[in-house]
Amino acid sequence: MSALGWRWVALALAAGLLGCEKLPAAPDPVNQPPTAQFFFSPVAPIYAGVSDVSFNAEGSSDPDGQVASYTWNFGDGTPPQTKSTPIIQHTFPDVSRCITITYGVSLVVVDNQGAQGVASQQVTVTELPPPTDPACQPPK
């Protein structure tokens, strides 16, 4: 470039004619969904109408925010329960005698941006007396 060309560039820069171009703002990052997971205790035996079962979802997490709510569905006809904390107690209802019932328990976690994660497990509940009790056996 000639001396005249460099002089023009220097003057243009000084005058602000060759400033930086304003770019549009970067898009917001895509919200990542949370991961739901839980365990329960006791695992067995669980007796209907008697055993208080503790469900713990402290292992649930959100990679780009925080878990805002935990909705539990115990699969036993009781209404779903939504909590802001990860631990809940539940007693499965007494519905019969002498049988074992397996319920599907599900957890839906929602993060602070509205994305959801789901986990489910089976829970086996014994109706008292247990099926092996002599009172549950057919008469001879």
Q: Which domains does the chain have, with CATH numbers?
A: 39-134 (2.60.40.10)
pLDDT recorded at residue 14: 52
Per the CB < 8 A criterion, the answer to whether 54 and 28 are in contact is no
pLDDT at 20: 64
C-alpha 140, offset from chain centre: 51
Confidence (pLDDT) at 11: 47
pLDDT in tens, 115-139: 999 999 999 999 999 888 888 888 7
pLDDT digits (tens, 9 = 90+) for 3-58: 555 554 454 555 555 556 788 888 888 999 999 999 999 999 999 999 999 999 99
DSSP string, 92-137: -----SS-EEEEEEEEEEEETTS-EEEEEEEEEEEPSSPTTSGGGS
Please identify which residue in the block is written with the tokens 């569905």. 73
pTM equals 0.79
